[in-house]
Structure 1
């Protein structure tokens, strides 16, 4: 019988596989972008349907995005920013400064 691995050990093993780190970072970015949109939408008191209408989208597309299920294009982020009364800013940061 083999010994069970901790979550940290299992995570390290999976992230050690070729390409896994990049996939993990992409998923993290999708999640963080979705959370930022959701938090702003809630701060403005908007429903997903209202945000979707303002951005010219379907409510289901907003739900998927907020859940981290899709990677938006810059054009899509601009639509969200405008609908959320925000200015989209894209910048490059040195890796040691990125979180």
Structure 2
């Protein structure tokens, strides 16, 4: 069961362990027993190990659209990316103009 945040209008915020199927329903405040709505809470990612967090971010990014690289593309296929590094050298020299 996950831990959810709730906000009581009279008593303020509190946390409660609630099953996922009952997560959308209101929860009774432990002090005044009034029904309180669930509060939006940010995930506690700062508690996670930094290396694990980066690995999870990489796996999520590559899960839907993996990066595909083909060797034929890198062999000078003529696309805009290949033309960036392979500029032809000019045959005319600036100093020889007019001679």
Query: TM-score scaled by structure 1?
Result: 0.24
Determine which structure has the larger helix proportion and give its number.
Answer: 1
Query: TM-score scaled by structure 2?
Result: 0.24
Greater relative contact order (Cα 8 A, min sep 6): structure 1 or 2? 1
Determine which structure has the larger strand proportion and give its number.
Answer: 2
